[in-house]
């Protein structure tokens, strides 16, 4: 006897979910209330304030030191303003992402899994959404400052440096956005996740730098080494195009590599926890 004969109603077959479908849905969901839309605009605003402010300061103060605005002075105005814009955008972006990720791991996580039963597909879409929003926000912010440097600081002659900063800042934004999201998944508490991001990006590198100078040589070296391995210090290295002529590309590559290591290690831990966690 068939299921229909027994009084059961056969459910229509659902279309197969693709990663691209889940990704589009996740990108839209992130823009809704409770997502990261407000945080993204705050990140853009702060990035523009930091970058525009640095450009204005350098172009105002520089003539008093260098009346002719020589090559080195203009290069510093261009690279310094872009690095400030990237830093000013990335940190608030991380705070918005980690807070949203921590909220998602509570009630909203179960709702999402009801729509996307395969956790690997859902988590993959979330990671790609982080890449899109993280990289896009930083590129948009630094791109505006780059346009301003073209107008006010003759940055066209430093086009290679501008493109390098846009690339390194975008990559750093992607790594740190994924890292922030992973921390939110691990902690499941927006407060703890936000405090951890602030600690890794700001507090520990600053405190270690102050305390390190007051310690004996051996202990000071250890504290300094640990502080330099924190994401906040690595971000500075990863986008330090302004020191390219003095320190070479090694510092930038080292910063990018270790940011990627942080992202892979913490992201893998978050992936494992999320796949095993009860919704």
d(CA 180, CA 93) in angstroms, rounded, equals 9
- pLDDT for position 12: 46
Q: How many other C-beta atoms are found inside a 10 Å radius of the C-beta of residue 78? A: 30
Q: Find all residues with CB under 8 Å of 78, minimum gap 6, and list them.
A: 149, 153, 155, 158, 161, 162
- pLDDT for position 81: 93
Give the pTM.
Answer: 0.84
Q: Find all residues with CB under 8 Å of 90, minimum gap 6, and list them.
A: 43, 47, 138, 169, 172, 173, 176, 235
Q: pLDDT of the chain along its 279 residues, tens only?
A: 444 444 444 444 445 667 677 778 777 777 776 678 889 999 999 999 999 999 988 888 765 544 445 566 778 888 999 999 999 999 999 999 999 888 765 555 555 655 555 667 777 788 888 889 999 999 999 999 999 988 887 767 788 899 999 999 999 999 999 999 999 989 888 899 999 999 999 998 888 777 766 777 777 778 888 888 999 999 999 999 988 888 888 999 999 999 999 999 999 999 888 877 654
Residue located via tokens 């980690």: 98
- pLDDT for position 111: 58
Of 87, 74, 85, nearest to 52 by C-alpha is 85
């Amino acid at each position: 006897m068939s299921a229909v004969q027994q009084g059961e109603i056969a459910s229509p077959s659902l279309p197969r979910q693709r990663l691209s479908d889940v990704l589009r849905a996740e990108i839209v969901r992130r823009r809704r209330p409770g997502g990261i839309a407000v945080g993204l605009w705050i990140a853009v605003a702060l990035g523009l304030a930091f970058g525009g402010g640095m450009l204005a300061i350098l172009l105002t103060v520089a003539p008093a030191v260098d009346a002719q605005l020589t090559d080195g002075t203009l290069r510093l105005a261009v690279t310094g303003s872009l690095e400030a814009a990237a830093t000013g955008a990335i940190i608030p972006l991380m705070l918005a992402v980690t807070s949203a990720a921590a909220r998602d791991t509570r009630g909203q996580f179960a709702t999402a899994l009801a729509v996307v039963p395969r956790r690997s597909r859902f988590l993959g879409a979330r990671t790609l959404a982080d890449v899109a929003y993280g990289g896009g926000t930083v590129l948009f912010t630094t791109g505006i400052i780059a346009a301003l440097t073209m107008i006010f600081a003759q940055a066209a002659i430093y086009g290679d440096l501008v493109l390098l900063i846009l690339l390194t800042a975008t990559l750093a934004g992607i790594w740190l956005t994924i890292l922030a999201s992973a921390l939110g998944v691990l902690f499941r508490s927006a407060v703890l996740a936000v405090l951890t991001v602030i600690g890794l990006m700001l507090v520990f590198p600053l405190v270690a730098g102050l305390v390190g100078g007051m310690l004996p040589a051996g202990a000071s070296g250890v504290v300094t080494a640990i502080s330099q391995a924190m994401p906040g210090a690595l971000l500075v290295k990863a986008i330090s195009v302004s020191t390219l002529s003095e320190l070479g590309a090694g510092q930038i590559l080292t910063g990018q590599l270790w940011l990627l290591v942080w992202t892979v290690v913490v992201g893998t831990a978050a992936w494992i926890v999320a796949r095993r966690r009860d919704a």
